Amino acid sequence: MIVGVNALFMIPGEVGGSETYLRRTLAAAAHAFPQHEFVVFANHENRNAMARDLKPFPNVTLVDMRVKAESRARRALCEQTALPKVVAGKGIEVLWNPGNTAPLRVACPQATSVYDMQFMHFPEDFSRTALFFTKLFTRLAMRRSQAVLTISEFSRQEIARYTRTPFDAMRVTLLAADESYAKPLPGEFIAERVMALLHSGEPYILVVANTYPHKSVETAVRAFTKLCSDIPHRLVLLGKPRRGEDAVAAAVAETPAPERVSRLHYLAQTDLAALYQGADLFVFPSKYEGFGLPVLEAMSAGVPVVTTREAAIPEVGGDAVAYAEAGNAEAFAAEIRRLLALDAPARAAVVAKAKARAAGFSWEATARATVAALEAL
């Protein structure tokens, strides 16, 4: 089978978990299914990264569509006009669209990955124009696709609720954490990288989220404000400024120890693994997630987690994480305090439970579920 992969949406470092999903699923699929050929349609921004990822696989071909994805209008035009022609010319038998959108007319069956219905719950995360086109193109893509892939049972329920897409037309392909998080790094290396990143050797609490309003990063900051006089920890916020940045900045300004709040925007994979593994605690106060990949990454890295019971997060965390009420800084502060106070054996038990649950997710399983859905078309 010749599988086309529409990677036109992906800009490295800019599209969050969907980048991880595409790159890891595709590599795992190419490895697990050498009998299939994968033709990847790349853009200007991702062509080099995709070429590096896929170099080990002789059954993968990269096609540079010569479009800059930073221009959404140009990318959409390419997807609707140039891409269908190239798909036909390459003899593609099924097209996988991992980025919520799809060509409306294409000469083969297609499956589209839709991560969640965030734009219905949190329209404030989007500009008016972006919201209009996100709704329009996502719904059109689902109507034009023979299968819809999504990343959790929660998202499948949401998609059915808002779009009336039949359940039997949807397949759940759970995500996984990168293998690097689970591999213990030398303590000296972690200490060296953390010092280089934070310019401090203090213990720290980690939050990984771009500052969209629904991520509720300010809740973690307010919880830290309630605790900071009683603990020696820094609060480390890793994520890019987004439409909720003002609320986060205001919360940081109100804390009595703003010098103990570190802000980082983007890290290489090795540094991110070191930052996870060096943390005493991971806090994820999000109010809405189609999956909640950072929770799984922290669990895999062996870090106790405090998060919410919102959306798909319990599908990931199960009974291996601690939960607090979304938006409730007092509740988060209480759970943070409780976990930081655990003695060594109790903490080890929490870590072991989290790592065992995280080990149940794998990119090979994601790839196999994805390819099974494509083979059925």
Number of other CB atoms surrounding residue 209 within 10 Å: 24
| Mean pLDDT across 297-305 | 98
Strand partners, 4: 39, 95
205 and 123, same structural domain? no
* Per-residue model confidence as pLDDT tens digits over 247-275: 999 999 999 999 999 999 989 889 999 99
232 and 280, same structural domain? yes
- Number of domains, the chain: 2
| Mean pLDDT across 279-289 | 98
CATH number at residue 353: 3.40.50.2000
349 and 317, same structural domain? yes
117 and 61, same structural domain? yes
Local confidence band at 17 (pLDDT 50, 70, 90 cut-offs): confident
Local confidence band at 360 (pLDDT 50, 70, 90 cut-offs): very high
217 and 84, same structural domain? no
142 and 210, same structural domain? no
160 and 240, same structural domain? no
Domain hosting 169: range is 2-176+362-375
Q: 176: closest CA among 55, 292, 347, 313?
A: 292
335 and 292, same structural domain? yes
Residue 52 has pLDDT above 90, yes or no: yes
* Per-residue model confidence as pLDDT tens digits over 112-140: 999 999 999 888 888 888 889 889 989 99
Mean pLDDT, rounded, of the chain? 96
350 and 201, same structural domain? yes
103 and 8, same structural domain? yes
| Mean pLDDT across 222-236 | 98
191 and 130, same structural domain? no
Which one-letter DSSP state was computed for residue 118? H
pTM passes above 0.85:
yes
Q: Which of 155-164, 187-196, 198-207, 276-285 has the lowest mean pLDDT?
A: 155-164
**What percentage of the chain carries pLDDT values higher than 90?**
91
185 and 168, same structural domain? no
For position 2, what pLDDT does the model report?
98
Judged by phi (left if over 0) then psi (alpha if -120 to 50, else beta), residue 49 lies in: alpha
